[in-house]
Structure 1
């Protein structure tokens, strides 16, 4: 016998009747992936007894375009934005503008329990939790074992630096693949170099537009020496200034590939390329990995920190269902499943002990360490201005020189933040 809600004394919080119109639709705005978030959404809705349905809305590939689309709609108080997959640097801006619902009390504990230190820091603004860490990406150094042997270097040593790597590549007539197109991936590389050298791109971020550009520093100069030095060296891949993640991967897997910094998905990508016949198994067998290279000998690097945080829109009409979706999607089991499905590392540390993860990613423990000790990009509500200022003044990489480039960046960034120049 079926009973309507009117016949029940109390309806479960996630099983309210939806009448003839069916259960409410929760819109989840996602970064493009292989369909893993859509499959995860369906699982979460099923686990909730189909009390809600999830409609996947796919954002553009570029992180800046994702931000722009969401900001415009949230500024208009669009209630259809229930859940968002956000690049961590945008959390501060969205939270500061009042676009996100805060996680409090037990809800905050549930979505942060067991999350690694690196990704956890990216979910807060002014001490308040505005996002649930979902995936937590980091970059590793990938190298060809045969090239390392020929160059007689040890990429796992704390003495192995960017300078060591570039010289090893030159000696063996191989390349160092990086992401140096004028996009967010380039900012990721530059920021990792600066923080690995003990500096910051910008400080006093709580002051908003009055924050202090800090890239004009010894650390900024060391980063500039590496970027410009590689771009002008024989170790630079062709079209380095136009390279993103996939172009870097292609260069690394080619006959001239020697070293590469990139996200862990590249290992699964290489194995997939063997299946399609794009490369031989011998290429995969020749791939080794180590921590992101150091800037200074003996000083461990601060690897890049990326990933995706899930946030709930401030104007959603279904906050309880949005919360259920976020809680389900960011659970330990869900993030393990998503890591195996989509190849994006989980934010929770225990995921890297799962036998399936270890089998798929033999470098799982290194990924976890890199995430825990990674260096986040600047956490500021003006992040887009900060990032774009760096991208513009550091491109093309062959023109980057110390101290001129860091000095120019600091001036340009200050002018942009103060409204004296437009991006």
Structure 2
């Protein structure tokens, strides 16, 4: 594989040229200078900040001021909803609630980009594929990382359900299956849903509709409960803690998002001679994540906000984000020769995205997540059996 880190500056240069050409028409239009506010979560990679800096460099009359909200998924919604902005960078799960409250305005789907089907579904306005509530900035899906010590040895891709059931090699898999405070609760919910999907692919369908069968949930979560109680899983609270457990304990497997791959791969190859490679594999069905850029309904600069969004979500931007580990949203980015040469594992990521299921895309998702977390923590760690109250509470939250 070509060295990602020596090629990133080259790709950035090519992309910069591409961005300058694609935005030339906008640049030549004389306008009164304005500053737009973009509200967003944190950026652990630097890729998004680079794009914003490029925008500000190319567009001195329309600058972006970033307001960063470093908090849990649930708290982000509360902060976003109470913050005056021109553009919101939303976790996909916040789209329905902000749309229902009239805080974001539909935007035309971008030209020249074919969004992957699951990404299109979660962002479009009902069944109208030509209008989106928010334009996908990046997509995301849970992946299975695995450490390879000998590239010559057979390396069949494992299934996550088999890993947690394997008593011969306990404690070699780490996932976000612990909760410490509000900031790690969403990671726990997603990991539990993925474990349930590994046992029963109908527990949550491709449109985010959850099963209302108590027996189905009991059967789908029983293997995870058995593995946790037998000590076969290394539990961690949040993505960073899972990375630390994987690296410090030299574990074989880890569930995490693909955005962490460049950093994990680089550290392992540079500092651990016993590690021949870090490879990504897909889950049977992963949970779809990602971020989308939405125009605030009350912005006074809608045309300029839309221009910013087109810049940040276009093909040059997607190519650059891919080198930082982000999963592109458009089929064209996965087919690009430069991206494929630099990040060959993206074929596996694309396959996982195309089969991923979203969380329940309803305005009541935050209440659903709280109910789901409370009942499953009690079941998995306190041996409190799941009852009809679990299913009824989920239904009530999503009503």
| TM score, norm. by length of structure 2 | 0.81
CA deviation vs aligned residue, 1:238-264 (integer Å, no higher than 9, x gap): xx2x52112212222234512211111
Deviations 1:21-73 (CA, angstroms, capped at 9, x unpaired): xx1001111221133223212323444x4331110111114222211101223
Mapped to 2, the partners of 1:345 and 1:243 lie a distance apart of 23
What per-residue deviation string (whole Å, max 9, x for no partner) do you get for residues 350-404 of structure 1? Answer: 22233443344331100011111111111111111111111121115633769x3
Q: How does 1:296-375 map to 2 (within 5 A)?
A: 301-340=284-323, 342-375=324-357
Cα separation, partners in 2 of 1:149 and 1:83, compared to 1, 3 Å: same
CA distance in 1, matches of 2:274, 2:306: 46
Measure, in 2, the Cα distance between the counterparts of 1:46 and 1:337: 16
Q: Distance in 2 between matches of 1:187 and 1:127?
A: 28
Aligned to 1:385: 367
2:103 to 88, 99, 113: 99
- CA deviations on 1:115-146 (whole Å, 9 max, x unpaired) are 11121111024335201011011122122335
Say whether the 8 Å CA contact 2:146–2:279 is kept in structure 1: yes
1:228 to 225, 230, 236: 225
Rate the CA distance shift 1:374–1:61 in 2: closer, same or farther, 3 A. Answer: same
Distance change >3 Å, CA 46–CA 127, structure 1 → 2: farther
Can you give the 5+ residue segments of structure 2 that lack an aligned partner in the other structure? 1-24, 180-184
What SS is found at the alignment partner of 1:405?
coil
Aligned to 1:136: 139
CA distance in 1, matches of 2:257, 2:240: 10
**Cα distance in structure 1, aligned partners of 2:228 and 2:288:** 23
Matches within 5 A, 1:115-134: 115-128=115-128, 129-134=132-137
**1:36 matched residue in structure 2:** 47
Distance 1:24 1:303, change over 3 A: same
Structure index of larger Rg = 1
Q: CA RMSD in A?
A: 3.2
* 1:397–1:179 distance in 2 versus 1, CA, 3 Å: farther
Q: 1:144 to 1:343 in 2, by over 3 A?
A: closer
Aligned residues: 365
Which structure's residues are more often strand, by fraction? 2
SS in 1 for 2:70: coil
> Equivalent residue of 1:306, what SS?
strand
Is there any run of 5+ residues in structure 1 with no aligned partner, and where? 1-10, 206-211, 293-300, 419-423
* Aligned mates of 2:104, 2:299 — CA distance in 1: 10
Is the alpha carbon distance of 1:269 and 1:42 closer, same or farther for their aligned partners in structure 2, counting shifts above 3 Å? closer
The secondary structure found in structure 2 opposite 1:134 is strand
CA contact (8 A) 2:138 2:329 kept: yes
Partner residue of 1:209?
Answer: none
What does residue 246 of structure 1 align with?
A: 240
